[in-house]
Structure 1
Amino acid sequence: MPDFTVREYAFISVAYKDCPDSSLEHAYIPEKAFEHLCEIAASFSKHGAKVFELAGRRKLKLDQYVGVIETPCGTRIEILPKHLDLNGTSGQEIILAERKLLQKMLSVSLHLPYREAGSANLNRFKQPLHEWIITQFLASFEHLVQCGLRFDYNRVQEEQKFLRGQLQHIKYMRQPPAKKHVFPIEHDVYEVNRPENRLIRTALEVVCKKTKDANNWKLAQELRLMTIEIPRSQNIRQDLRQWQSGRLLALYEEIKPWTELILGEYMPVSTQGEWRGMSLLFPMEKLFEYYVAYHLRRGLPEYNIKTQHATEHICEHRQSKIFKLKPDIFIERPNAKPIVMDTKWKLINQSDRYGRYGLKDSDIQQMFAYSHFYLKHESEVMLVYPYRADKFDYPLEDFLFRNTTEARLRVVPFNLDEPHKFHAQCYCDVS
């Protein structure tokens, strides 16, 4: 089955005879794959996760989730962020740029041990997201095997004709006379069978089945032969809870997040017991929030920057506080008023004055509540949107809240290609 690459808010339809070629904005997939997407759309909707929206009997519209979806028939759909305009740019350039962006944002948001090493790694942007994850996992696993896997003592109970370890006296005394020459014993075996290795081995089996990249497949088969003595995990969740950390397992820290990605199969809601394939979906709103907060912490180390800070409530009900106010980013500054910031993954237009630049009433009302309850209208609140060349490349003129003297709302762009400059653009001066 062919793979499809689309962007946020793209349409997905059933392929029919003489249908147009699939593009970044509209993919035409097999009917079985479309039916499966409809089923999971209904399942997600029950849990409040809006991944697809019906746009007709044979058409779906994607929402703000990015990643990969695999269907039982083998169809794989890669969903990329919608950040760049198609005008004057080829589809392949858009795909490479947005894959690069998504990989950087995932690395920051999920704390993935991923490094750029110059032009030698530029080819990875040509890989779909799932192949990039597989590549990183295999590289970490290969390094781990070269450095040496960790062994552990496991308690074994067995019957032998010789004594080893500890004899189970009660069990031995209850044996019939005909079995007196057989000793029920209990002893420890020093072996590679431990939770971390079982999980990695299980992830490797998934990789061997799912990868379509020749280099990944070759390396996966080599590692499979080298670690054939490691059993697969029989209870993934339990083994994940038993994954240990410490000085002796420092080498395992690098591969752990990649293993969790492959085995955890990030989805908006649990679909345990149903087909999931290698499906990984992430909300762009959250990825953008974590990405902005990460670079703020790097650019403003002397500030205390918190995410999802929730200390205030709008109402009191029956002598208890209710309806939390939870700004995305809360910046505490020494000898200065704090700043409240919300990130919005939405493309706005600085020249659309009569359309209010694309700002939503609910967002402005939310920022007013933050200003009132967190800042007493004595400092500024900020809305952060993605930077767009010639569309939103400088902060909008400040919005002043009525009946206040110092409270203002600032709407600022965040340049995803130059995130280190953001703290200067939003006037969070460290001086």
Structure 2
Amino acid sequence: MPDLITVREYAYISVAYVGCPESTIDHAYISESAFEYLCDLSASFSKNGAKIFELAGRRKLRLDQYVGVIETKCGTRIEILPKHISQTVDESIDSLVEKERELLKKMLRVSLHLPYRDVGEASLSRFKQPIHEWVIEQFLYHFEILIQHGLRFDYQRVQEEQKYLKGQLQHVKYMRQPPAKKHIFPIEHDVYEVNRPENRLIKTALDLICKKTSSPKNWKLAQELRLMTGEIPKSQNIAQDFKQWQSGRLLALYTDIKPWTELILSEYMPVSTQGSWRGMSLLFPMEKLFEHYVAYHLRRELKDWQVSTQVSNQHICLYGDNPIFRLRPDIYIQHKQTKRKIVLDTKWKLLDQTNRAGRFGLKDSDIQQMFAYSHYYLEHSSEVILVYPYQLNKFDNEISLKFNVDSGEAILRVVPFNVEKPENLINSCISSGTVCL
């Protein structure tokens, strides 16, 4: 069974040594082979412009804003959780980890449009396993339903030689055969079988689960499903089979299991890794998860507003007559009746509104970026909004700033967004055409 280390964003990971302290959620100690694998992984990511780790010494790494699970070649699994909750005095580490895990599940369901089985609070409280086991559990649940309703079969065209006629005789081939083979018939016919791209991919994911899961419950169910689907071959070309995955009324149940199959087989990484090692690795950038999460709840709650993401119809410069340096705000909303426009940008960072001397932790580049959005998208006629995670007693009230321009509407609002109760904060602050998150 693989070793499991649970840490949070920006935690340190060091090589274990004799007498080293016990691992915590903010500083973990792993074997030298696992550490070397992470260093190699970091180097391969850096070549493609993705920053997953940062060297903090010869034998120490610092994690960045990526969450999920990494499995090393030696079997060590590192679970990386979001860091947005401060531990209270009377709260245990296990309770804190469970809160962060539940938050990550919510954000993944929204961002990846995952069909999720709502098992109720009682079952959730019993499921105290890493995030990859939750993904495996959801895959097995949907596969079991698929088996109960019946797998889809498909006609496959087969060309073979037989001593009897079946289907269509290939006349040209038959006429060219030597006299000694006149009793052999080259034929072509269709076979109704379970070998189709969707089933091959699901079987491949199931085989991987049987090797990777550490949960006895998941392993038992995976083995039972494996016995039921022994006639299905594994996929020989995963990318090609995903391209051939069909949809439609007859394949409705396959729609629910597809994203879970993609998660397991694609091994969500920010960039492709080199080599043939295939571990149970799932990495997601928290900035993007937070952006999708905020946009999802805005669409759900603001019925009178059109919510768009990654709008990019404005540029900050011209080179001759050609616009360059595109401005791309995270979220752009417009009221359907009044046409009032507001630009929002999400930042996954913890602010401290009591730190006025340190400008609350806001970065110059973020403020300058919001000024450009205000000028080019809104002509300073409406507010721009920076959205940061809510923190009790640290950042639980809006910070209102005014840009130094003549227009009185050039307002920058920095607002807290409660990721655990997003609907409450949105519903309580919508009034007179102004959106407050």
Could you tell me how far 1:428 is from its partner in structure 2? Answer: 6.2
**TM-score, normalised by the number of residues in structure 1:** 0.98
Inter-CA distance 272–246: structure 2 relative to 1 (3 Å threshold): farther
Identity %: 67
Inter-CA distance 52–425: structure 2 relative to 1 (3 Å threshold): farther
394, 402, 406: which one aligns with 1:403: 406
Could you tell me how far 1:336 is from its partner in structure 2? Answer: 4.0
Could you tell me how far 1:157 is from its partner in structure 2? Answer: 0.6
Aligned length: 431
Aligned positions of 1:14-413 closer than 5 A: 14-88=15-89, 89-123=91-125, 125-333=127-335, 334-413=337-416
Inter-CA distance 303–286: structure 2 relative to 1 (3 Å threshold): same
CA RMSD, Structure 1 to Structure 2 (Å): 1.3
Report the 3-state secondary structure (helix = DSSP H, G, I; strand = E; otherwise coil) of the residue aligned with 1:262: helix
Is there any run of 5+ residues in structure 2 with no aligned partner, and where? none
- Partners of 1:346 and 1:27 lie apart in 2 by 22
CA contact (8 A) 1:100 1:125 kept: no
- Partners of 1:364 and 1:410 lie apart in 2 by 11
Could you tell me how far 1:317 is from its partner in structure 2? Answer: 1.1
For 2:215, the aligned partner's letter is: D
Could you tell me how far 1:45 is from its partner in structure 2? Answer: 0.6
Could you tell me how far 1:404 is from its partner in structure 2? Answer: 2.5
Report the 3-state secondary structure (helix = DSSP H, G, I; strand = E; otherwise coil) of the residue aligned with 1:18: coil
- Partners of 2:405 and 2:6 lie apart in 1 by 46
CA contact (8 A) 1:330 1:340 kept: yes
Is there any run of 5+ residues in structure 1 with no aligned partner, and where? none
Inter-CA distance 430–3: structure 2 relative to 1 (3 Å threshold): same
CA contact (8 A) 1:124 1:132 kept: no
Report the 3-state secondary structure (helix = DSSP H, G, I; strand = E; otherwise coil) of the residue aligned with 2:5: strand
Q: Does 1:11 align with 2:1?
A: no
CA contact (8 A) 2:388 2:415 kept: yes
For 2:332, the aligned partner's letter is: F
Could you tell me how far 1:402 is from its partner in structure 2? Answer: 2.9
For 2:79, the aligned partner's letter is: E
- Partners of 2:423 and 2:197 lie apart in 1 by 39
Cα deviations across residues 185-211 of structure 1 (Å, max 9, x unaligned)? 000000111100000000000100000
CA contact (8 A) 2:117 2:138 kept: no
- The runs of at least 4 consecutive aligned structure 1 residues that moved more than 6 Å come to none
For 2:58, the aligned partner's letter is: R
For 2:169, the aligned partner's letter is: L
Q: Which moved more, 1:15-24 or 1:394-403?
A: 394-403
